[in-house]
Each structure stands twice: as C-alpha cells, then as structure tokens.
Amino acid sequence: MKIAPILLAAVLTPLWAQEIKMPANLDKLAAKADETVDVTLDGSLLKLAGRFFSGKSDDEVMTKKVLSRLESITVRSFEFSHDGEYEMADVDAIRAQVKGPPWSRIVGVTSRKDGDNVDVYFKDAGNGNLGGIVVLCMEPRELTIVSIVGTLDPSELADLGGHFGIPKLNISISGRRHVQ
C-alpha cells in the first residue's frame, strides 16, 4: 500500500509544477506601489477571452489559436516612488520555481549602471514547443513578473504581445514580422 501514494505523487507532481505560484509577499508590495497591474487568467478565462477575437484578421486568428493552447497567464507589475521598495527576496520565490529541468534561463541581463535586470526562463514541452515562459523585469522603482503556462510554438510567441498586460514585441520569427 505504500507504493500507491508514491505513484500518485509521481503522477501529480508534473501537474503541480506547471503553474508558477505567485508568492504571498507580492500582495504586500501592492500596498507600497504607486501603480500596480494584476492579471490572472486561467484556462477557462483564456478560452472565453479568445471568443472576443472575431478572427477577421490574420493576427486575430493567430491570437485565438495561441490562447486555445494556454493554461494560464499571470502578470504582476509594481511601480514605486522610491528605490528599494522591494527586495530580491521578493523575486527569489519565483526563481526557485524555475530552477532546473525542464526550465532553462535563456536571457539574463544585468546592468550595474542603472540597476535594470531581466531574466527570461523557458520551459521545454518537447517537440520543439514551449511549456511555459517566465519573465522577471527588475528596475530600481519597478518590478514586473509575467508567467505564461501552456503549449506555445515559439514562432507564435510574439502574437501574445499587446494582450492581457503582456508587452508588445517587435521581433521577427520565421520570416513573420511583428510590429508595435
């Protein structure tokens, strides 16, 4: 009988690992911030949101397609009046969730001059697809965390920009150009 709980835990662990949990200490930051953005969309809300896109343009068709494969989008952004209103410990709880397989840090930007730091993590879903993306943007007076969970084709990634609090991307992937 001891094997059943172990098997159950092994089966459920990947399900738990899919969601990036926003730490409770982020709620305390909202009280200190001058401006906050708080977007939390689960799979059912994303499917509902997809129904608002008419599909009349190529961009809307692509956005609907991308949304249909997502499980969640979470955005937390805080702007402060003064430097030092948040601590790196506020970000460490997120970083701890994206360490090791299947996550990889693909971008790390650190500026000692102005204090701007950016980390981008991708989760490998196999078959050339992503299983999630986490973006951490840390500036002296601003902290932004974006988590997107679900199956993403990297060539369609830019189509999420400009929606649900996700910044619009101005990049070219596989010959398709996305502009602001």
The pLDDT tens digits for 127-153 are: 888 999 999 999 999 999 999 999 988
- pTM (global) more than 0.85: no
pLDDT given at position 83: 92
pLDDT given at position 163: 59
As a whole number of angstroms, the distance between CA 7 and CA 78 comes to 41
Residue 65: partners with Cβ closer than 8 Å, 6 or more residues away = 156
pLDDT given at position 126: 87
Among the listed residues 154, 153, 161, the one whose alpha carbon sits nearest the alpha carbon of residue 178: 161
Please give the radius of gyration of the chain, using alpha carbons only, rounded to the nearest integer: 18
H or E element: which one contains 17?
Answer: helix 3-18
- pLDDT, greater one: 19 or 169: 19
One DSSP character per residue, 102-134 reads: TEEEEEEEE-TTT--EEEEEEEEEETTEEEEEE
**What phi, psi does 175 have (nearest 5°)?**
80, -5
As a whole number of angstroms, the distance between CA 57 and CA 151 comes to 23
The pLDDT confidence band at residue 118, using thresholds 50, 70 and 90, is very high
pLDDT given at position 5: 31
CA angle 141, 147, 148 (to 5 degrees): 145
As a whole number of angstroms, the distance between CA 159 and CA 140 comes to 29
Residue 132: partners with Cβ closer than 8 Å, 6 or more residues away = 18, 20, 103, 122, 123, 125, 147, 148, 149, 150, 152
- pLDDT, greater one: 15 or 126: 126
Whether the CB-CB separation of 117 and 109 falls below 8 Å is answered with: yes
Residue with tokens 């993306």: 133
As a whole number of angstroms, the distance between CA 105 and CA 98 comes to 8
